[in-house]
Structure 1
C-alpha cells in the first residue's frame, strides 16, 4: 500500500500544480474579460486634462458652425489652454486651472470676461465619473477613424428624461475624446464637436499662452468682475432632477437692472443649467412661458414679485423641474 502511494505521488503532485496553474490562468482571464468598461471613461476624463495636445476641431450647435483651435499643456502642476475661434468674429480664451479669461475684440476695444469651472471640449467629462455612472448607462459599439486616429465609439445613455444621449469617440491609444455628439430624445444631433487634426507634444514652453489681439485697442472688463459668491438663502430650492447639484451661486448686476440678479448653476457632471432670479422693478413687464433658442430651452415664470428664468441645453422637462424646485423666495 505504501509502495503504491509513493510510486504515484509525483504524478499527483504535478497534477495538483497543473490544476492550480490552470485555475489562476482562468481567474486572470475572467478578470480581464469583465474589466470595468467605465475605466475607459475615467481614462478619457484624465486624458483631456493630463495630456499636452494641439488641434483644430469643428464645433456645431444648431446653425452655428465654427472651426476652433485648441492648445493644451499640462506641466505636471497646472493646466494651461488657449482656445481660438478661427471663423467669423475673432474670439480667444485663455484658461489656467479652473479660471478662464475670454477676449472679445471689437472695432474699438477688447471686452474681457472672466469665467470659472468651464467644461469645454474635449474636457467634457468630470474628473470623477462616479456621478455619471449613477445616471447614465454605458454601451460600446463600432470603431471609427477620427482626425486620422483610431477611435472606439461609446454611448452614454440617460436613465431618465432629464438628460440627453452622448455619443463619444475615444482615442484607442490615449483615451482622449476625439469627437462628441449630443442627441435629443428623437435621436437628432443638437450639438457636435470633432477634431479634424490633433497632435500630442511634450514641450513646456508657454510662449503661446497669450492672446493675439491688437495691443492698441482699449481693454474693458465686463461687469463679471462685480460678481460676488453668494451664501444668502434668497430661495428655498428642493427636489432638483436626479443627479443635478448646485455648482455655483453668485449675485451680480446685469444690464440696466436696478436690483442684483441671483445666478445659480446646476450640473449632473455633463450638462449645465442656469437659474436666474431677480426682483421685478416697478413698471417692468415680466416674462412668462417657454421658448427654444437653438439647442437651448428657456422657461420663465413669476413668483413673489421675482422673475425666474431657467436656461440650458437640456430637455424641456429638466428646465421645468428646476424652475419648479424653487419653493420659496425671500420677500423684500
Structure 2
C-alpha cells in the first residue's frame, strides 16, 4: 500500500531520532524535513484519534466529525459531515463506503483514497523535498495541545505552500493552511477539538457498512487503464508531478442528484501528484447541451479549468495555481 511505501521511502526508522531536537530550533530555520514529514504521516496512519474538523475556504465554513482507528495492520475511518446534506464516509483499508442516509444511497468503491486531513503525504512523497522546503516557524498551542509550526515553502510558482501545526508528542496534524503566492491563507483545515490515543472502535465503522437494508447500493465499475492506451498523451510533463493513476469510471458515480442515465457513460480520469497535492485531469466526449463555454473557477485553493479540445471536453482540477492547470491542459494531446 502507499502508506508502507512512503514510510520506507522517507527513512522513518533512521530519521525519527532527530525530531525531538527541533523543539529548540529558531523560527524560519531549515529542519530535518524527512523526519518531520515521516512523523506526521505515521501519526495520521497509525494513531487512534477522533475529533471535529473545521474546513474554511472561499468564505464558506464546513465541519465534520472524524474518527480513525488502527488495529494491527487494519485501518478504520469514519467521517460524518455536520453541515449541509447528510453524508457519511466509512473506510476499512481500501474499501470506502459513501452513504447518503436521507436519499438512501450508498456508493461502494475499492480504492486507496487520496489522503484527506490530517494525512499529508501522497504517492511521490519520497521526492517532496525536491519541490518544497520545510522551515520551522516556532511553536503554538492548538485544540489544547502544544504544537510545532512548519512552513512548506514551494521552490517554484507551480504549487502552493502550506503551513502545518503538528502536535509535539505524536506529530498528528492539528491544522493546515494552504497559502497563496503572497502568503495569504486560501483555505484551512483544523481540529477544533481532538482526542489522541483513544481506544480503537472498529465496530463503529464496520457495523454501518453492513446495515444497508433499503439503500440503493451503487458499485461504480472503475477500470484501471493507461492514458496512452486510451489514445492520449502528455507532450511534456509538468515539473514535479508524477502520474499515479489512470481509470475509466462512470461520470455520475457518487452523485446522488444525477439520474442513472444522465450524461455520457464514462469519463477518463488521470491523477498526477507531487507528493503533497494532486491534479485530476478528466476527459469526456463533448456534449453541446452540457458544455456550453470554457470556464475557470476557484474556491479557496481549489482551481478548476474546463475547455473543449476537438470532440472532447477537458476538466483539470487541483489545489494549484491556474497557470499549473493550463500547463496540464496544454500538454494533453490526442494521438488517435
TM-score (norm 2): 0.79
Which of 185, 188, 208 aligns to 2:204? It is 208
**Secondary structure of residue in 1 paired with 2:328:** helix
Say which of 292, 300, 305 aligns to 2:297: 292
Aligned CA distance change for structure 1 residues 290 and 159 (closer, same or farther; 3 Å): farther
The answer to whether the aligner puts 1:147 opposite 2:176 as a matched pair is: no
Task: Sort the Cα spacing of 1:64 and 1:287 in 2 relative to 1 into closer, same or farther, 3 A.
Answer: same
SS at match of 1:208: helix
* Separation of aligned partners in 1, 2:304 and 2:123: 29
Normalising by structure 1, what TM-score?
0.80
Aligned equivalents of 2:33 and 2:307: distance in 1?
42
Checking the alignment, whether the CA contact within 8 Å between 1:275 and 1:308 is kept in structure 2 is yes
Distance 1:302 1:163 in 2: 25
Please state how far the C-alpha of 1:259 moved relative to its aligned partner.
5.4
Deviations 1:173-220 (A, max 9, x none): 11111111001113222221111222223534422114769x687322
2:285 is aligned, of 279, 282, 288, to 279
What is the CA-CA distance between 1:86 and the residue it aligns to? 2.1
Matches within 5 A, 1:247-262: 247-255=244-252, 256-258=262-264, 260-262=266-268
- Consecutive unaligned residues of structure 2, counting only runs of 5 or more, are 1-20, 253-261
Counterpart in the other structure of 2:314: 308
Once the two structures are superposed, the pairs formed by residues 120-159 of structure 1 within 5 Å of their partners are: 120-126=116-122, 129-159=125-155
Indicate the structure (1 or 2) with the bigger Cα radius of gyration: 1
Contact 1:132 1:268 in 2 (8 A): yes
Deviations 1:88-144 (A, max 9, x none): 3221111122332211222x4234253532211101223774221110011101211
Question: CA, structure 1 residues 253+225, in 2 after alignment: closer, same or farther (shift >3 Å)?
Answer: closer
Aligned mates of 1:137, 1:275 — CA distance in 2? 27
Cα shift readout 1:219-247 (whole Å, capped 9, x = no counterpart): 2234x612211232420124222111112
Residue 73 (str. 1) matches residue 69 (str. 2)? yes
Cα 1:318–1:128 change in 2 (3 A) is closer
Return the structure number with greater relative CO, CA threshold 8 A, min gap 6.
Answer: 2
Aligned equivalents of 1:209, 1:227: Cα separation in 2: 24
Determine whether 1:241 maps to 2:243. no
The root-mean-square deviation of aligned C-alpha atoms, in Å, is 2.8
- Distance in structure 1 (CA, Å) of the matches to 2:80 and 2:127: 31
8 Å CA contact 2:295–2:306 kept in 1: the answer is yes
Cα offset, 1:69, TM superposition: 1.4
How far residue 39 of structure 1 moved from its aligned partner, in angstroms, is 0.8
Cα distance in 2 for residues equivalent to 1:61 and 1:212: 30
